[in-house]
């Protein structure tokens, strides 16, 4: 076995540094975001057969017809949330747990919801192995948010829905940011929405994207 290609933070360290250089070249400059990508071992969140591709900038299959998002888009979304460290963040779509692990280093508390039990369980086990302690996992329909933990200073939606789920807008703190992919399946846009008042929001288009479906009451029908 090649040295350095082990599980955990020390495995694939040099490849991870190269990934960070690519993210920097793509315009990610927040040092805390870059440090998180240097730190989180993405290979531990994909099947071992895919370890050789773990640090390429592509989505990879994680089972159940779902994917781990590409590092570049995870970095763009994480940076767009503008986290300083004290926030409580809601993530819709735990998937592999990669985005949650990155967020765990950028915010105080992460609440992550997944609708597919097998993925939620695998992500929870993988993040426990990585000693991530500030992520809480819930099984359910994330398009309804989690009113009992609202308001959230930041919300990230990591699956593509037809429109921004209203409950998520309602659960956004004043000044809070929501980032996620919305619109028709063949023309998804990555949006950043900021709550500027009780009933006022600003919206920016950050770019085009291509995510798996957001399935739920305020998403696509199952
Ligand atoms: N953040 C993940 C991305 C996984 S892909 C990662 O870093 O790996 C998106 C995930 O959203 C899938 O696992 C899918 O099952 C989940 N999902 C789709 N609709 C959902 C919903 N309404 N509530 C919770 N999770 C949902």
Per-residue pLDDT of the chain (222 residues; tens, 9 = 90+): 444 467 777 789 999 999 999 999 999 999 999 999 999 999 999 999 999 999 999 999 999 999 999 999 999 999 999 999 999 999 999 999 999 999 999 999 999 999 999 999 999 999 999 999 999 999 999 999 999 999 999 999 999 999 999 999 999 999 999 999 999 999 999 999 999 999 999 999 999 999 999 999 999 998
Residue closest via CA to ligand 1's atom 4 equals: 95
If you measure from the C-alpha of residue 4 to the centroid of ligand 1, how many angstroms do you get, rounded to a whole number? 30
If you measure from the C-alpha of residue 99 to the centroid of ligand 1, how many angstroms do you get, rounded to a whole number? 10
Question: Is 178:155 a contact under the CB 8 Å cutoff?
Answer: yes
Residue closest via CA to ligand 1's atom 16 equals: 93
Can you tell me the distance from the alpha carbon of 6 to that of 104, in angstroms, rounded to the nearest whole number?
A: 22
Whole-Å CA distances, 77 to 39, 63, 173: 17, 23, 18
End-to-end CA distance of the chain: 43
Question: Is 177:104 a contact under the CB 8 Å cutoff?
Answer: no
- For residue 36 and ligand 1, the question of a CB distance below 6 A is answered with no
Other Cβ atoms closer than 10 A to 207: 11
- For residue 66 and ligand 1, the question of a CB distance below 6 A is answered with yes
- For residue 215 and ligand 1, the question of a CB distance below 6 A is answered with yes
Domain boundaries along the sequence of the chain = 10-209
Question: Is 14:2 a contact under the CB 8 Å cutoff?
Answer: no
Which of the residues are catalytic? 69
- For residue 219 and ligand 1, the question of a CB distance below 6 A is answered with yes
- For residue 116 and ligand 1, the question of a CB distance below 6 A is answered with yes
Tokens 């159940």 belong to 64
Phi, psi dihedral angles at 54 (to 5 degrees): -60, -25
Segment (H or E) for 129? helix 117-129
Both tokens of 208, joined, read: 């085009």
Can you tell me the distance from the alpha carbon of 104 to that of 187, in angstroms, rounded to the nearest whole number?
A: 30
CATH 3.30.420.40 corresponds to the domain 10-209: no
């Amino acid at each position: 076995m090649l040295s350095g290609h082990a599980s955990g933070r020390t495995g694939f360290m040099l490849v991870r540094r190269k990934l960070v250089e690519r993210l920097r070249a793509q315009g990610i400059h927040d040092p805390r975001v870059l440090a998180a990508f240097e730190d989180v071992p993405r290979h531990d969140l994909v099947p071992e057969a895919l370890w050789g591709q773990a640090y390429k900038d592509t989505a990879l299959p994680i089972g159940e017809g779902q994917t781990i998002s590409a590092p570049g888009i995870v970095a763009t979304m994480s940076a767009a949330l503008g986290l300083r460290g004290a926030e409580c963040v809601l993530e819709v779509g735990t998937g592999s747990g990669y985005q949650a692990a990155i967020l765990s280093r950028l915010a105080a508390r992460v609440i992550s919801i997944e609708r597919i039990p097998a993925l939620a369980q695998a992500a929870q086990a993988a993040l426990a192995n990585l000693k991530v302690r500030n992520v809480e996992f819930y099984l359910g329909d994330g398009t309804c948010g989690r009113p009992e933990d609202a308001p959230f200073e930041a919300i990230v939606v990591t699956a593509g829905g037809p429109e921004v789920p209203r409950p998520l807008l309602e659960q956004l703190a004043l000044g809070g940011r929501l980032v996620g992919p919305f619109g028709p399946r063949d023309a998804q846009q990555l949006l950043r929405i900021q709550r500027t008042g009780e009933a006022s929001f600003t919206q920016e288009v950050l770019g085009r994207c291509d995510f798996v479906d957001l399935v739920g009451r305020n998403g696509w029908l199952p």
